[in-house]
């Protein structure tokens, strides 16, 4: 795909996907949703880790309200079903580890877009806001799925009802995101984190995601069986044997991602 609303780069086995509409705070229109979905599908076959971030001072301000039909209306059900779902699933189902680097404000669907990634790292200057009720809507783009699971029903309900700004540090302390980094160090910190994943045991990372996500629906017996099945896959990889050899030889492992 010829990307017009994002930039896409692969360096050192890290695919970097940058929302590139800084003039509208990287608001989500039809084109950018298609491009994000395509980029993650490409990344999983051509890189070993993926990072999504925003150009300019914002991560993403959510749905572009100017992205409407000629009569000024948005078919919300069709837009969510046909455009948001493929985009969010391309991130959530990505076979390689994904990081969302929230460099600035993340509002509405932009806040929930971030939560689709495996790991969210935010600049200490960033914040999250479920802005939907401010315009008479409910959280979408996966917000009603991810928030209760990450921060509990009480905090999810309050965040959605009041549409309060949640600072990056508060989001970290609540368990909404993984960690924060000082704004001045943010790009370098994210790069180091991404490189750590891109040089790691890629097959094990994929099985790890399957195991953790399955745990919420499984009984203990089911989860133990799943762990055994997935561990068998990991145990047949080059990286497992390399990891053991490196441990025995007291050296850093040289993982190949296979």
Q: C-alpha distances in angstroms, 142 versus 32, 60, 182, 218?
A: 18, 15, 28, 21
Domain range list for the chain? 6-198, 202-248
Classified as helix, coil or strand, 158 is helix
pLDDT at 72: 66
The percentage of residues in the chain with a pLDDT greater than 70, rounded to a whole number, is: 98
Q: State the average pLDDT over residues 120-131.
A: 97
- Rounded to the nearest 5 degrees, what angle is found at the Cα of 196, between the Cα atoms of 236 and 227? 35
Take residue 197 and report the two structure tokens written for it: 């994943």
pTM: 0.93
pLDDT at 65: 84
Q: State the average pLDDT over residues 123-135.
A: 96
The percentage of residues in the chain with a pLDDT greater than 90, rounded to a whole number, is: 95
Report, in this order, helix, strand and coil percent for the chain, each rounded to 5: 50, 15, 35
Among the listed residues 158, 129, 160, 131, the one whose alpha carbon sits nearest the alpha carbon of residue 144: 160
Of the pLDDT bands very low, low, confident and very high (cuts 50, 70, 90), residue 69 is low
Q: For 6-198, give the CATH class.
A: alpha beta
d(CA 99, CA 109): 17
pLDDT at 29: 95
Of the pLDDT bands very low, low, confident and very high (cuts 50, 70, 90), residue 18 is very high
Q: Is 202-248 a CATH 1.10.3470 domain? A: no
Of the pLDDT bands very low, low, confident and very high (cuts 50, 70, 90), residue 1 is confident
Q: Which residues contact 92 (CB under 8 A, 6 or more apart)?
A: 116
The residue assigned the tokens 């508060």 is 170
| 206-238: pLDDT as tens digits | 999 999 999 989 999 999 999 999 999 999 999
Average pLDDT of the chain, as a whole number: 95
Q: Judge contact between 176 and 128, C-beta under 8 A.
A: yes
Cβ neighbours of 171 (radius 10 Å): 26
Q: Judge contact between 176 and 147, C-beta under 8 A.
A: yes
3-state SS record for 28-57: ECHHHHHHHHHHHHHHHHHCCEEEEEECCC
Cα 114 to chain centroid, rounded: 5
Of the pLDDT bands very low, low, confident and very high (cuts 50, 70, 90), residue 63 is very high
pLDDT at 73: 78
Take residue 127 and report the two structure tokens written for it: 């914040």
Q: Judge contact between 186 and 211, C-beta under 8 A.
A: no
Q: Judge contact between 168 and 180, C-beta under 8 A.
A: yes
Among the listed residues 51, 95, 43, the one whose alpha carbon sits nearest the alpha carbon of residue 190: 51
pLDDT at 70 over 80: no
pLDDT at 156 over 90: yes
pLDDT at 66: 84
Q: State the average pLDDT over residues 37-57.
A: 97
Take residue 194 and report the two structure tokens written for it: 């991404």
Largest Cα–Cα separation, the chain: 68
pLDDT at 200 over 70: yes
pLDDT at 134 over 70: yes
């Amino acid at each position: 795909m010829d990307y017009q609303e994002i930039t896409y780069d692969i360096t050192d086995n890290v695919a970097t996907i940058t929302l590139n509409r800084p003039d509208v705070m990287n608001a989500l229109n039809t084109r950018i949703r298609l491009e994000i979905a395509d980029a993650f599908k490409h990344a999983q076959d051509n890189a070993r880790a993926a990072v999504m971030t925003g150009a300019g001072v914002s991560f993403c301000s959510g749905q572009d309200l100017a992205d409407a039909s000629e009569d000024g209306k948005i078919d919300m059900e069709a837009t969510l079903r046909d455009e948001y779902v493929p985009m969010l699933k391309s991130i959530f189902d990505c076979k390689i580890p994904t990081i969302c680097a929230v460099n600035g404000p993340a509002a509405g669907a932009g806040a929930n877009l971030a939560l689709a990634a495996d790991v969210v790292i935010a600049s200490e200057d960033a914040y999250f806001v479920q802005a939907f009720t401010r315009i008479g809507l409910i959280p979408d783009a996966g917000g009603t799925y991810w928030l209760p699971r990450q921060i509990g029903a009480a905090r999810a309900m309050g965040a959605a009802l009041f549409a309060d700004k949640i600072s990056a540090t508060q989001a970290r302390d609540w368990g909404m995101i993984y960690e924060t980094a000082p704004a001045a160090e943010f790009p370098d910190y994210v790069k180091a984190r991404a490189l750590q994943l891109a040089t790691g045991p890629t097959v094990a990372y994929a099985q790890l995601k399957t195991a953790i996500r399955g745990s919420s629906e499984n009984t203990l017996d089911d989860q133990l069986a799943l762990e055994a099945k997935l561990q068998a896959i990991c145990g047949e990889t080059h990286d497992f044997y390399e990891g053991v050899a490196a441990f025995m030889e007291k050296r850093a492992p040289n993982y190949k991602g296979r």
